[in-house]
Structure formats: C-alpha cells, structure tokens
A and B are shown apart, each in its own frame.
Chain A
Amino acid sequence: MTSATYSAIEAVWRIESAKIVAGLARMTRDVGLAEELAQEALLAALEKWPGSGVPDNPGAWLMATAKNRALDHFRHNKLIEAKHEEIGRETEEGFTPDFDAGLEDDIGDDLLRLIFTACHPVLSTEARAALTLRLLGGLTTDEIARAFLVPEPTIAQRIVRAKRTLAEAHVPFEVPRGEDLAARLSSVLEVIYLVFNEGYSATAGEDWMRPALCEDALRLGRILAELAPVEPEVHGLVALMEIQASRLHARTGPSGEPILLMDQDRARWDHLLVRRGFAELERAEALNREAGGALGPYALQAAIAACHARARTPAETDWKRIVALYDALAQLLPSPVVELNRAVAVAMAYGPEEGLVLVDAIAAEPALRGYHLLPSVRGDFLVKLGRFEEARGEFERAAALTRNTREIRLLLDRAAALHPGLRVVK
C-alpha cells in the first residue's frame, strides 16, 4: 500500500470516526460494539481503498460498511438467540437495533451522547481521557500511549476495560438532563482540560510540553462548544485553553527550556488564539448574564488568563482584578492549589510579605504535600524579600518534587543563580 493512500485514510478517519462511532452507538446502544464495528469498517477501507482509490464520499462509505457489519452482527446473534430458544433458554434482552433512524440530522446529538458516555463518572479520569481521545478525537491507541508516555498495551487495556465497565454498568447512550446535566458536564470538561494540561505542562518526561495534546484538547473543546452552545462553562473552558495555548511558543527557549509566564516575551504570544479566547470568554460572560448567574470556575480562570493576555508587560498586569477573580474562584472551588495561585496574585498586587503569609497558612495542607509549586512559589517570594538562602532551599526542594526533567533543570538553575556567597556552610 502506498503511504499516500494510508495517510489519506488516516485523515478521513480523523474527520469521520467520531461521527461513525456516534451513529453506530445510537443504533446499537453499545459504545464498545459501535467502536469495534467502526474499526472493522476502517480495516475494510484499508483493504479496499488502496486499489479502488478513496471514494467520493468516504464518510458515507465507512458508515455504510459499518452498518452492514452491524446487521451481520445482529443477524448472527439472532441465530444464536434462536438456538438458545430452541433448547429452551431465555434470551437476556429483547433489544432490536434502530437502523432506520435518520443519520445526518441528529449527528450532533449523537456526538454529544458519545462525549457524555465516554466521560461517564463510572470510569476513572484516566480511562475517560483515553476513551475520549479514542472515540471523539479519532486517535489510535498508539498515539494515545505516546501522548501519555505509557506503553501501548496499557492504553489498549484501559480502553477495553472502560468499554466493559460502561457495558456492565448499563450506562445509557444519552445526554443527561435536569439536575444530572451539570455534574455530568463538569465531568466532560474535566477530561478535556486534563488532556490539555497533560500537553501544557507534561507531568513527566523530557519535554516540558507536548503541544499536539493541547491541540487535541482544543479541538475537542471547540467541537463541544458547537454541540452545547448554551453552556457558559463550555465556552469558559475553550476560552481558557485558547488563551493558554496562545503562549505555547513563548513558553520554551531556544533549547527547549521552560520560560515562566512573567519572563515570557509577550510579543511571541499567538494573537489569533488570544482573540479567539477573548471571543469565547465574552460568550461565556454573555450567557451568564442572560441566566443571571455568576461566572463558573473555567470562565473565571479564563478571565484570569485574559488579564495576563491584555497586559503588554508583566508590570501592566491588573493584579488587583486577578486577586478578585481568585477570590471568586476560591469561593466556588475552595482548594489549596487555588489558594496558592491566589497567594501569587496577592504578592504581585500587595507585596511579597502578604503573599508569604498566605502561602505559609496553607503550607501544611495535605493536598499540597509533594506539590512542587508550593516550595517554588515560596522561593519566589523569598527571593523578592531578599532571603536568598531560604529561597535556594525552596527551589531545591521543588526540584526534588517534580518528575519533569526540564522543570527540574529550571528550578536547579534558579537555586544556583542565587548568590553562592550567601550559602551557609553546614
């Protein structure tokens, strides 16, 4: 097979797979089965297209093929069922697949159902992330494995187990309604942001970022914003990711070393993404106004990111507004990590002493034990207060707590940069 045809099939798959799986899942009410049938259609394409060429409407071809496989599957099962009945056994469920329902019309609804199913809380966050990238992002198991730096069989296992869990828990293929919706939606948003963050500040490995993963998450977020246009938090999350992604180029130096927000060359921020982020944030704010509600956690974080994006220099940052936004965020999501970020903003707005007081107040939080940003932030404040020796110790402590090699180097460099003459000989 020529690699050109293979690449073309891969591209078609990337575009069509989510729709095909979603459509099949609606027919079969079984996401796992739907995915297997879609995979069979892909295999058929891999066999056929190199000879025949890519058909004019490759999506329809794949769908029709998958649908035929589904019919075969159910016919086969019917036969088994009939045999079972012959020997007097009862069939488990009298479900008939819905093959006649219109396809193109509600594909949006099907995709939404698929997202909610893949991100169902019955699954672990890791399983949700893998399944979402596989089913909605059209990524191969291998691509997901490389993205998360785990062996391929681990991801394959994770996906198989996730599909089994969904089947065993009889998770319905539907969009949750009423009270359920908010909790389920936040489970979806959490997964997308987790994928984005794994790309934005890789938790382990040689690279400090894996931008492809950020792009996958952004694509999922943008799709979701189209599918659920009235949900302010969806737009809030997309705004947050667009603005954060705008800094991707500025976050590394020439040899791949990380550059922190305050030290970034702001002219290198991607203004196309910044503008898109602002537009999404405005949408979130407008929806909130209409509903008479306050900004949700993602919109608040996006508003904070927007404050940075608006400032041409770090000195021009509206830190007081950022503190106010963190106050609101801390009310909604009381967490030591939010408190830590709030402390940073407070230090910028009102001085490092104020920041240090806040950081010391949360230093004993169990949730922050082992969190490298705590000593790193504390080190920052201490540097500003001229307490270099203590700062050095904090940076070294932070370096010992992170697994990302780039970050370790950055922290050790900061430690080493502090005047060596100040080192106390022990």
Chain B
Amino acid sequence: MRFMMLMIPKGYESAKPGTMPDPKAVAAMMKYNESLQKAGVLLALDGLHPPSMGARVSFAGGKPKVTDGPFAEAKEVLGGYWMIQVKSREEAIEWAKRCPGSENEMIEIRQVQEAADFSEEILPPKVREKWDKLTKKGK
C-alpha cells in the first residue's frame, strides 16, 4: 500500500518567498531520503516552496475566488511530501519516526486511496474504472 508522508513545518505558513531550509537540515534530510531509497520503499518525493509564493482558490458561494499567499488564516501548511510503498500503516509510521525532523516539524501520514477502498455504492464498477484512469494518469 502507498502512503504519503506530509511534512508540516510550523512557521512555514509565514515564510518569505524563496525561503530555503538550513543546509544542515537539508543534509540530514538527504541522508534520511537515501535510507528510504536503500530500503526500497521510496516512490517519489518533493519539497514545496512557501505559501507566500502560492495562491489559494476557494469556492465559497459556488464561485472560485483567488487569494494570493501568504494566507493569514493558515495554521498549518505543507512543506513537502514523500510517497512510499510499504506493507502496513504501522510500517509507514515507523519510517516517519526515523525522519530527522526538527522541533517545529510534524509529519502527517495518509494512505493513498485506491479504487478498491471504495464501496460498490460510492463507486460502481464502471465509475471505478474511470477513477483508476484519472488517478493513475500523469502521476
């Protein structure tokens, strides 16, 4: 099964555009990434620029509304993610525990949905195939 490990660094919500992590932290994180790779569990990973360089599109009242970052109301934002393939939720947690995270960082673990996770009611076979199509395309 696949899991996303979502890195949530406190303070990143207000980080200035172009903020880059501390080189020491980067080196430690690279070592961690390598350990995931060496264990054969890492599928993909990326770091994200701070929200001050991004935008949010909301749909209150059924109409898209664009807000440029940073977002005053945001308490937690993403800093990056790992996509891993493991045997169980517990294994994903074990891997997250090994991350050299700093005081302000937190990892949220979320299983990647697969069509098989949905009941027939929500996703009839025909729609299920379409779901697979959409979620596998361009990933």
Contacts and interface: CB of A to CB of B under 8 A. Distances in A.
B139 A222 contact: no
Contacts of B128: 254
Interface string B107-135: 00000000100000000010011001100
Question: For the complex, would chain A's binding face be called helix, strand, loop or mixed by DSSP majority?
Answer: helix
B40 A220 contact: yes
Contact of B38 (A223, A268, A269): A223
A12 B38 CA distance: 16
Contacts of A268: 129, 132-133, 136
Interface stretch (A32-40, A270-278, A341-349, A409-417): A270-278
A221 interface: yes
A269 B88 contact: no
A249 B125 contact: no
Given A11-B93, A15-B94, A265-B129, A249 B41 contact: no
Interface of B: 37-41, 43-44, 83, 85-91, 93-95, 115, 125, 128-129, 132-133, 136-139
A176 interface: no
Given A265-B129, A267-B136, A11 B88 contact: yes
Contact of B40 (A218, A249, A272): A218
Most chain A beta-carbon neighbours within 10 Å: one of B83, B90, B115: B90
Given A15-B39, A226-B38, A265 B133 contact: yes
A11 B41 CA distance: 13
B136 A254 contact: no
A259 B41 CA distance: 28
A257 B93 CA distance: 35
Contacts of B83: 272
A269 B85 contact: no
Contact of B125 (A4, A226, A254): A254
Nearest to A59: B98
Given A11-B93, A12-B94, A15-B94, A219 B129 contact: no
Nearest to B116: A249
Given A10-B88, A276-B43, A270 B136 contact: yes
B95 to A, nearest CB: 7
A268 B139 CA distance: 11
A314 interface: no
Nearest to A227: B38
A268 B115 CA distance: 11
Interface of A: 4, 7-8, 10-12, 14-15, 58, 108, 215, 218-223, 226-227, 249-250, 254, 265, 267-272, 276
Contact of B132 (A4, A11, A221, A249): A249
B133 A226 contact: no
Contacts of A218: 40, 85
A221 B86 CA distance: 14
5 contacts: A11-B87, A221-B40, A249-B115, A271-B136, A272-B83
A11 B91 contact: yes
Contacts of B38: 108, 223, 226-227
A267 B133 contact: yes
Contacts of B132: 249-250, 268
Contact of B95 (A15, A108, A219): A15
Contacts of B93: 8, 11
B43 A254 contact: no
Contacts of B115: 249
Given A271-B136, A271-B137, A226 B37 contact: yes
A7 B44 CA distance: 25
A237 B10 CA distance: 42
A53 B85 CA distance: 25
A305 B103 CA distance: 46
Nearest to A8: B90
A223 B94 CA distance: 18
B43 A272 contact: yes
Nearest to B133: A267
A226 B38 CA distance: 6
Contacts of A271: 136-139
Closest A-B pairs by Cβ, 10 of them: A222-B40, A254-B125, A11-B90, A219-B40, A11-B91, A267-B133, A223-B40, A7-B90, A11-B94, A272-B139
Contacts of A223: 38-40
Contacts of A58: 94
Nearest to A249: B132
Contacts of A220: 40
Contacts of B125: 254
A12 B88 CA distance: 11
B42 to A, nearest CB: 8
Contacts of A11: 86-88, 90-91, 93-94
A402 B91 CA distance: 37
A249 B94 contact: no
A215 B84 CA distance: 12
B133 A14 contact: no
B90 A219 contact: no
A310 to B, nearest CB: 15
Contact of A267 (B89, B94, B95, B137): B137
